[in-house]
Amino acid sequence: MAVMNGRAIVAGAAEGEALVSREPLSFWGGYDFKTGTIVDTHHPLAGVRAAGTVLALPFSRGSSTTTAVLLEAVRAGTAPAALVTTGIDSFFALASIVAGVMYEKSFPVVALDAGDFDRLTSGQWITIETSGIVRADGA
Amino acid sequence: MQLTARDRAMLEGAEGPAPQLAMSILVRMAEIGGAPGLMDISQAHIDSTIYLGDATLEFAERLAALGARVAVPTSLNVSGVDVCGWQRWAVPPEWAAKAARQMRAYEQMGAVATWTCAPYHTHMRPAFGQQIAWGESNAIAFANSVIGARTERYPDLLDVCCAITGRVPAVGLHLTENRAGQTLLQLVDVPRPLQADDQFFAVLGHLVGQLAGDAIPVIDGIVTRPVEDQLKAFAAAAASSGRVALFHLVGITPEAPTLDAAFQGRRPRATIDITVPALKAARAELTNADGADLDMVILGSPHFSLDEFRRLAPLVAGQRRHPRVKLLVTSGRAMKEQAEQAGVLAPVLEFGAEITLDTCVLASPMLPPDIKRLMTNSAKYAYYAPSLLAARITFGSLADCVRSAIEGRVVRDDSTWQ
């Protein structure tokens, strides 16, 4: 098991299966909130369901509407359980904060060092603590 | 973090519940961004207008119900519906009604009903050096890079908080020292005829977005003088394939009179060559269609400008589109009015084109299911249409698009790119 000290950008506890990509993602045009599936045909995770996973992406790209898509996903129950990034991604942080304000359902957003981020692989079981500690089991 | 007395008063509710809610979100974002405090803006552009579903509507209506008013001149991005023309398309009535409610909520806040993703084409265009809070990825990149106004990369739901309070975290691209170029992208042996091609800046933008990662790119080696619509196409492409919020084109954009100025005297963190094969590959990525079948040509992402109408009018004058192929131009109210006054709208309509205002094919479910094979000169449409519309799309020049609409099948002059 790997234990990593992340920075809790938006603090919270969550666990789930890791879904990892080195490729950034725009949620608008990239995430179908009706199904919780990644739909960006340019993205390596296209077609993969991300609802309930701990989704690890280096950062957001593309549309400003990424935050609104994430808010819709939270409302619809199709959002990832948490987001893990390599830097402070203000889009993911904002979506979580507004999800807290609107629906009392914020989700953890944690930033890892690039080195720690590289230790994540899809299929690991990830546990995120409020302090920002990230535990990765298996795979 | 240091808040002013007024910031604190807003946070405590002295100016009402809407500024209080907006300020509470802003302060949290400022803390996350490590801001020393907040600063004033003198303009905003709200991207949160795009209706997606109940959450975006509930957010807008909650703020409106709390009595939210914008504190600075504020323009509005595209909505989810063309209120005057949706009935001609496949928009479900329930969608149209809810999208219109979301529009009314933002109009109630005192924002200007520009309803465009190209606010820089309207009277709300900011000035060089002006501190603004803009949402909409293409508009952010354009405002920062082409105009030299200063905005962070604001997401939906935060842009409106900035507009309501007139304040933003004092971080990022608002500050001179953070506007220096970081990565040098050097055109190597890219011949002038290719650079002068109508598709060049859109293709270059698509490639730059991929290469820049999260850095501010500086592009050197451009030997042509791009017009503003080419810079718009570049900005939109780079902000779709990547996260580019500011770029510098050496000798072209206002903060990059020289290579040294673009980097503010610092050294590039990385240098990447841009070659003809890389550009050809980038162009090829913008087409996922095979064959020549065609249902519709779509123009206007970002929204079509007066100058683009001026270019389109002589290409279509005296001709007629093929009866099987539609031509749709998406634009804003101001640009359509200007085109009408300039006499360049009539030939486009006589050609058989249709105009959609306030929204676009990506933001409104307007295309009927039998329209699946598209052609465009917009890298942004080409980037998002396969994912958002499950469409097959061909990228080409404006002239290619018009010729294809006339012939009823995809026709491209690829000679410059071979």
Task: Give me the amino acid identity at B138.
Answer: N
pLDDT of residue A139: 61
CA distance, residue B374 to nearest chain A CA (Å): 16
**A/B interface, count of CB pairs below 8 Å:** 125
pLDDT tens, residue order, chain A (139 aa): 899 999 999 999 999 999 999 999 999 999 999 999 999 999 999 999 999 999 999 999 999 999 999 999 999 999 999 999 999 999 999 999 999 999 999 999 999 999 999 999 999 999 999 999 999 998 6
Task: Answer whether B158 sits within 8 Å of A67, measured CB to CB.
Answer: yes
- Closest by Cβ to A61, choosing from B154, B243, B386: B243
The pLDDT of residue B241 is above 80: yes
Q: Supply the angle between the helices B306-316 and B228-241 in degrees, to the nearest 10.
A: 110
Query: Most A CBs within 10 Å: which of B23, B32, B98, B162, as the mutation test of the A interface?
Result: B32
A29 touches chain B (CB under 8 A): yes
Token look-up 């089991």 returns: A137
End-to-end CA distance of chain A: 10
A48 touches chain B (CB under 8 A): no
CA distance, residue A80 to nearest chain B CA (Å): 16
Minimum Cα–Cα distance from B239: chain A residue = A62
CB A17, CB B236: distance < 8 Å:
no
CB A59, CB A89: distance < 8 Å:
yes
- Closest by Cβ to A9, choosing from B21, B32, B386: B32
Instruction: Tell me how many domains chain A contains.
Output: 1
CA distance, residue A39 to nearest chain B CA (Å): 6
Tokens matching residue B199: 């598709």
End-to-end CA distance of chain B: 56
Task: Answer whether B50 sits within 8 Å of A91, measured CB to CB.
Answer: no
Minimum Cα–Cα distance from A25: chain B residue = B242
Query: A135, A136, A132, A134: which is closest to A7 by C-alpha?
Result: A132
Name every chain B residue with its beta carbon within 8 A of the beta carbon of A103.
55
Task: Answer whether B59 sits within 8 Å of A42, measured CB to CB.
Answer: no
CA distance, residue B35 to nearest chain A CA (Å): 13
Task: Answer whether A88 sits within 8 Å of B32, measured CB to CB.
Answer: yes
Token look-up 């608008």 returns: A28
Enter the DSSP assignment of A94: H
Task: Answer whether A101 sits within 8 Å of B52, measured CB to CB.
Answer: no
Q: Which CATH class is domain B296-417?
A: alpha beta
**Same-fold call for B5-176 versus B296-417:** yes
CB B125, CB B35: distance < 8 Å:
no
Q: Is the dihedral of CA B354, B359, B360, B365 positive or negative?
A: negative
pLDDT digits (tens, 9 = 90+) for B58-77: 999 999 999 999 999 999 99
- Closest by Cβ to A65, choosing from B47, B242, B386: B47
CA distance, residue B239 to nearest chain A CA (Å): 5
Name every chain B residue with its beta carbon within 8 A of the beta carbon of A95.
155, 157
CA distance, residue A52 to nearest chain B CA (Å): 19
pLDDT of residue B287: 98
Tokens matching residue B302: 């970002």
Minimum Cα–Cα distance from B21: chain A residue = A101
Task: Answer whether B29 sits within 8 Å of A94, measured CB to CB.
Answer: yes
What residues have CB less than 8 Å from A106, skipping those under 6 apart?
Answer: A10, A12, A96, A97, A99, A100
Enter the DSSP assignment of B63: H
Q: Determine which helix (DSSP H) or strand (DSSP E) holds B54, and give its type and residue range.
A: helix B54-65
β-partners of residue A56 are A20, A84
- The whole-number average pLDDT for the span B84-105 is 97
Task: Answer whether B159 sits within 8 Å of A68, measured CB to CB.
Answer: no
Minimum Cα–Cα distance from B59: chain A residue = A102
Q: How far apart (Å, rounded) are the C-alpha atoms in residues B309 and B327?
A: 13
Q: Are strands A37-38 and A31-32 parallel, antiparallel or unpaired?
A: antiparallel
User: How do the domains of chain B map onto residue ranges?
Assistant: 5-176, 180-285, 296-417
β-partners of residue A3 are A135
What's the half-sphere exposure (Cβ side, CA atoms, 13 Å) at B137? 28
Q: Strand, helix or coil at A2?
A: strand
Task: Answer whether A97 sits within 8 Å of B28, measured CB to CB.
Answer: yes
ipTM of model over 0.85: yes
| Region for residue B170 given its phi and psi (left: phi exceeds 0; alpha: psi -120 to 50; beta: otherwise) | beta
DSSP line for A38-92: E--TTSTTTT-B-TTSEEE-S-B-S-TTHHHHHHHHHHHT-S-SEEEESS--HHH
Q: Which residues of A are catalytic?
A: 63
Domain residues for the domain of A69 are 2-136
pLDDT of residue B412: 97
Query: Most B CBs within 10 Å: which of A42, A63, A110, as the mutation test of the B interface?
Result: A63
Q: Name the phi and psi angles at B164, rounded to 5.
A: -70, -35
Query: Most B CBs within 10 Å: which of A37, A38, A65, as the mutation test of the B interface?
Result: A65
| Average pLDDT score over chain B | 98
The CATH code that applies to domain B5-176 is 3.30.499.10
pLDDT of residue A138: 85
pLDDT digits (tens, 9 = 90+) for B290-322: 999 999 999 999 999 999 999 999 999 999 999
